[in-house]
Structure 1
Amino acid sequence: MAARVAGDCARGALSSTPASTCPRRSRRAGAAERGKRLLVSRRDILSGTSVAMGLKVSRPSSSARAASGAAPGEATVAYEDTMVSIGSQQIPVAVWAPSAGVGGSPPGTSKSRLEVQVQEATGGTSTSTTEHEQGGKGVAGYQHSISIAKIASVLFRLGRRLPTLFDQSMALDPAPWVFRGELTAPEGGYTKAVVLCHGYLGSRYDLVDFAEALARAGWLVLSPEFAEALSNPTTLPKASVDGVGVGADRSQIMAAVLDDVALGRFGVPRGRVALVGHSAGAGTAVTTEGEFLARVAIGGFRKPLQPDLARILAAPLLVVASSNDSVIGLAGIQAAVSSLGVPTREFTSGSDLAVGLGEAGEDGTAFIKFEGEGAPCHISFLSSRTNMAMVGVLSPLLPVARALGVPLLDFDVYDQTRDSDAVAADLVPAVIGWLNKAK
């Protein structure tokens, strides 16, 4: 059963050769050493490059900036939750965009939506409290949900709706320089965008470290939730015995996001869109039809079918894998990369790639291989914010899962290593640098 479940988690993206799970203690020691080398705060990890664009958004006031840690003149990011419709289904899409609201106070009495929401929540007594200060307690944080019913139904192949009594909702802290705003494309539209694709039982916030940093570096960022998302207990990735709806498939959701949101609302055609995915989302990033600016596959890659190969390799391709990933093995991904039949530059880390970017000519295909005791596990590539939310929910279930041999996508491993921030410190700037080179 465990093998079947792991195979489901990898469907559409992953290689067929799983790596064995590494010893927990050695992983923890390796991660600790890696953390010493790469330790920086989340704010430093995601600092990025300031690129002001013509986003029409009510700007954060100077008092909100001061409270949040965003200095005058420092780039800020606007965030919005939106939806795309596919039939009767409403698909959540998180949107981050570079904000033109940098510098001092905006003219007049304009306030960010963040401040307005805080004033409403506090009876109008606060003008400078930020979502960061609130600790994500429902004021204006990222609204995140974890459906235990969905997880149990999918992992145990129950194929039916379960009681949602134990499902949980929470607010995740945004970076201190992220503000809610009504997003409107500047005149002429945005020049480039990234679509982030989460994995099996993931969420639109799994890659939030990438999202915030990319937006701060000048990219419009879109992150939809797929049918396998852990937040929605009423849709499953396939039919069930009691009529739980089958969610729209990934190709339908990607088409809606690319056509209705990226192009229709913000004016960015597919040729100016990069795709970044993790696990099953890596398969989505690689196989989505169309000509794209670049593709990045993190923790999951298999050789595309021959008819698609030339189209996919027409854009820069970056593959990231780890020897300590027990869900999708490094050996299988490496074999898939080798089978592409094109020159591929190999790197040992994100920082190694960043150095290589300065030396390289054509972008082509690149492969980052994390190896050794301190290498990331499968979910180390995701944000610590979503990972720790899952660890908090799943911790009581981990002993039972181990006893039953049910894999939890390396969450049991991550509970020991807790290395997402260190991995992000290394990988996020490298991916941004890679995408910035795409033409």
Structure 2
Amino acid sequence: MIGPECFLLLLLLFLPSTSPFNVAYTPLTLPVKTTQIPLAIWTPTFSTPSSHPTSTYPYSISIPRIVKLLIGLPLPNFSFMLKQFEIPSSSLFNAPIAHEKPRPLVIVSHGYLGSRFDLTSYCEGLASKGIIAVAPEFPESLSASYEIGDVRREEIVTKTIEEFKGKYNIGGIGFLGHSLGTGLTLNYGMEEECPRCAIAGFRGLTDASKNDNILIIASDNDAVCPGSYIRPRFTEASLESPKIKSLFSTRWNHISYLNEKTNECMVDFLKPLLPIARGLKVPLLDFDIYEEVMDGGECGEETVPVVVDFFRNCFKYE
């Protein structure tokens, strides 16, 4: 005779396990005014590698764009000043979204001289838990995927939200940003409550975010936006709102939070230019510090689960 405890144990052993979703990556070009804006999209999928190939991320770096944004000097686009990288991933290319229920959407905003692939680790983590993550390429990108014109970040985000609400059953919207991207993350106005996560950048609560759940991530080792600057602003904000949380570190530099593969590409391509940049007193945005430590992977192991759990809890999503 099998007792009830043994029967329950056997039942659990033979039930199918509830594993996370697989992650699909899909590129999209979105027209905003007269400009074609590249989007990187990560969605949960029930597809497997046997039905869809894994993808690579087309990451690119333009020295003329970097020089133009930093010091305003126009340079010709000589081929040796441009570099294309194919970053391998485990994401499935163009696999269909798992759409059996409404999906939350997180808008991901890169920083100054960043790219739509900077926060890939966070985007993959969100999609693996059933949340759509979409990262537009903003005008301040080092990829020079389009000419800088009169299109603004807010216009790109508005058009992106319209596109996804029209295409998918969206169950809530949130914002995630790094560095300059935290400005949009905390200032973009929404009628409904929106969870917002600001990494390496926080000046205080805004009218748009004062009633929302907010997660602030910062580090004392960040030379661009240090924890010593952010801590008093977080303390002040926490007196105004009980819905703001933080994760402070003493270790990570400004670009430790970015995907380790994109950082490796930056180091590989831009390292020879460091002496020139130092001589011209060009802001290095902690690139020189990162070259010594190469800790993007370790930083992601600490911060990605915290960010993913933050959005899951805010969306009350399983």
TM range (shorter): 0.7 to 0.9
Percent identity reads: 31
Deviation digits for residues 157-197 of structure 1 (CA, Å, limit 9, x no counterpart): 22x353242111110111x3x11125457266x33121111
Matched, 1:191 2:103: yes
TM-score relative to the length of structure 2: 0.87
**Residue aligning to 1:273:** 173
Amino acid at match of 2:156: I
**Residue aligning to 1:302:** 203
Deviation at 1:75, TM superposition (A): 3.5
Deviation digits for residues 252-293 of structure 1 (CA, Å, limit 9, x no counterpart): 0110111112x1111316xx1111100001111111111343
TM-score relative to the length of structure 1: 0.64
Greater RCO (Cα-Cα under 8 Å, separation 6 or more): 1
Matched, 1:248 2:160: no
Unpaired segments ≥5 residues, structure 2: 1-16
What are the residue-to-residue correspondences of 1:179-328 with 2, within 5 Å? 179-183=92-96, 186=99, 190-232=102-144, 234-236=146-148, 246-261=149-164, 263-268=165-170, 272-290=172-190, 291-305=192-206, 308=207, 311-328=208-225
State the distance in 2 between where 1:234 and 1:186 align.
32
What are the residue-to-residue correspondences of 1:103-182 with 2, within 5 Å? 111-112=51-52, 114=53, 131=54, 140-158=55-73, 160=74, 162-165=76-79, 166-174=81-89, 176=90, 178-182=91-95
Of residues 396, 399, 416, the one that matches 2:292 is 416
Matched, 1:426 2:305: no
Amino acid at match of 2:228: A
Q: Are 1:147 and 1:232, in contact at CA under 8 Å, matched by a contact in 2?
A: yes
Alignment coverage as a number of residue pairs: 298
State the distance in 2 between where 1:331 and 1:213 align.
29
Deviation at 1:420, TM superposition (A): 0.7
Q: Are 1:198 and 1:278, in contact at CA under 8 Å, matched by a contact in 2?
A: yes
**Residue aligning to 1:393:** 269
Q: Are 1:275 and 1:292, in contact at CA under 8 Å, matched by a contact in 2?
A: no
Deviation at 1:367, TM superposition (A): 1.6
Deviation digits for residues 367-397 of structure 1 (CA, Å, limit 9, x no counterpart): 21112xxx10000010101111111111100
Of residues 15, 32, 35, the one that matches 1:86 is 32
* Structure with more of its chain in strand, by fraction: 2
Q: Secondary structure at the match of 1:378?
A: coil
State the distance in 2 between where 1:340 and 1:437 align.
21
Cα RMSD (Å) of the superposition?
Answer: 2.3
Amino acid at match of 1:386: T
Unpaired segments ≥5 residues, structure 1: 1-50, 53-72, 106-110, 115-130, 132-139, 237-245, 345-362
